[in-house]
């Protein structure tokens, strides 16, 4: 799901803004998705945010 979100944002945003900005937005959205997902799976916001910081 994170890869899908990344590529869809990258393709759709790069048509309207600079590629670097589109890539950054896609990366932040993917990291946020993984952070919140693992926080929910592990039942710990702290572990989720540790993973997000590591990514």
User: CA-to-CA distance for 28 and 55, rounded, in angstroms?
Assistant: 10
Closest CA to 34 of 51, 46, 16, 22: 51
Q: 19-38 pLDDT, tens per residue?
A: 999 999 999 999 999 999 99
The domain total for the chain is 1
Q: Are 47 and 39 in contact (CB under 8 A)?
A: yes
pLDDT for residue 5: 86
What was the pLDDT predicted at 12? 92
Q: Supply the range of the domain harboring residue 14.
A: 2-54
Sequence-distant (≥ 6) Cβ neighbours of residue 25 within 8 angstroms: 9, 13
Give the global pTM. Answer: 0.81
């Amino acid at each position: 799901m994170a890869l899908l979100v990344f590529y869809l944002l990258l393709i759709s945003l790069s048509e309207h803004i600079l590629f670097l900005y589109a890539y950054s937005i896609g990366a932040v959205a993917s990291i946020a998705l993984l952070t919140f997902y693992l926080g929910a799976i592990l039942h710990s916001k702290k572990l989720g945010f540790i993973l997000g910081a590591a990514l």
